[in-house]
Amino acid sequence: MSEFETLVKKMLAGERTALSRLISRIEERTQELSSGFRLLYPKTGSARVWGVTGPPGSGKSTLVDGLVTRLRKKGSRVAVVAVDPSSPFSGGAILGDRVRMQKHAGDDGVFIRSLGTKGRHGGLSHSTKEVVMALDAAGFDTIVVETAGVGQTELEILTVAQTILVLLVPESGDSIQVMKAGIMEIADIFCVNKADRPESDQMVRELTQMVSSLPHDENSWMIPVLKSEAVREKGLDEVLGALEKHFEYMKKHGILEQKWAAMVKSEVVDILTEKLRQDLWTKMESKAHQASLKKLICRKIDPYALAIEISK
């Protein structure tokens, strides 16, 4: 039995340290993943997965923490995965997690983990998906995936979530940026945090207008635009209510199954891509292509021509 398989067995038996080590192996992309996922995968599929995103300083951590406290009161087991592809300069995430971990220390129903920049090409969204599956199999009822910013990597990461909550702060230009970057297309819930700031009502109005201008019929989910002051615990019940309402909506319309199917299909493609990329390097460097590789380097053939040669 591989080390990873052993870790999966221990994790399924409820060992917390096994879960932590297993996640590290996923991040490191151990070669043994396949053996462990054979055991782990059948145990998945019961967790609710939420994505929370927003600009740095929008109060994501505080809001998520407030949600965790509320979920714990209801007896729900919660895991938080903070993904920070743009560390170290964006800062904060890891330190914030330590503070949060201390708060929930000794509570077996809360698990908090940061995923960083260890992954290779496209590896971070792939790893995040597998970490979420592991937490799901470990029996967490709710898994929150937190990302900062909405770039390419973050959008990929968020495909693991069933519901996406976009947190904004009342600062000039933000709502326009949201429109530009296609965040409208991924948001299921908007929340304007730090709603005590004077510009917050204006922002809520703008977002509400944007949301209502989207094409919709009687079966559409109407994206709510909420207000919160996470540091004062204001508005958090409403956010939790909207998250639960969206879950019921997805259940009713068969959307959960669609999202699951899309997620596991992309997982298969990620597994194959990861393997094929390694194979491609080996193939390109093999004797058969040495002469062409030399021609490529001195610009006698171009990269697309060599790609065609290799793929033959």
For residue 151, state whether it binds a second copy (rule: CB under 8 A).
yes
Nearer residue to a second copy within complex by CB, 211 or 306: 306
Q: How far is the CB of 254 from a second copy (least distance, A)?
A: 13
Q: How many CA atoms lie within 13 A of 49 on its CB side?
A: 26
Are the C-beta atoms of residues 47 and 259 closer than 8 Å to each other? no
Q: Applying CB under 8 A, what is the total number of residues that bind a second copy? A: 74
For residue 229, state whether it binds a second copy (rule: CB under 8 A).
no
Per-residue binding letters, 100-129, with a second copy (x by CB under 8 A): -----------------x-xxxxxx-----
For a second copy, which stretch binds (CB under 8 A), given 19-27, 143-151, 212-220, 245-253?
143-151
For residue 249, state whether it binds a second copy (rule: CB under 8 A).
no
Q: How far is the CB of 83 from a second copy (least distance, A)?
A: 10
Q: Residues in the chain, how many? A: 312
What are 148's strand-pairing partners? Answer: 54
For residue 56, state whether it binds a second copy (rule: CB under 8 A).
yes
Per-residue binding letters, 165-194, with a second copy (x by CB under 8 A): --------x---xx-xxxx-----------
CA–CA dist 240, 108 (Å, integer): 22
Q: Kindly state the greatest CA–CA separation across the chain.
A: 68
Nearer residue to a second copy within complex by CB, 253 or 281: 281
Element (H, E) at 84: none
Window 192-221: residues binding a second copy (CB under 8 A): none
Q: How far is the CB of 276 from a second copy (least distance, A)?
A: 5
User: Interhelix angle for 255-284 vs 123-137, to 10°?
Assistant: 130
CA–CA dist 132, 19 (Å, integer): 11
- Terminal CA-to-CA distance of the chain, rounded, Å? 38
259: left (phi over 0), alpha (psi -120 to 50) or beta: alpha
Select the residue interacting with a second copy from 2, 24, 30, 273 (CB under 8 A). Answer: 273
279 token code pair? 């194979």
CA–CA dist 116, 100 (Å, integer): 17
CA–CA dist 7, 1 (Å, integer): 10
Window 27-46: residues binding a second copy (CB under 8 A): 33-34, 37-38, 40-42, 44-45
Select the residue interacting with a second copy from 9, 70, 199, 260 (CB under 8 A). Answer: 260
Q: How far is the CB of 295 from a second copy (least distance, A)?
A: 11
For residue 302, state whether it binds a second copy (rule: CB under 8 A).
yes
CA–CA dist 21, 7 (Å, integer): 7
Nearer residue to a second copy within complex by CB, 222 or 280: 280
Q: How far is the CB of 269 from a second copy (least distance, A)?
A: 5
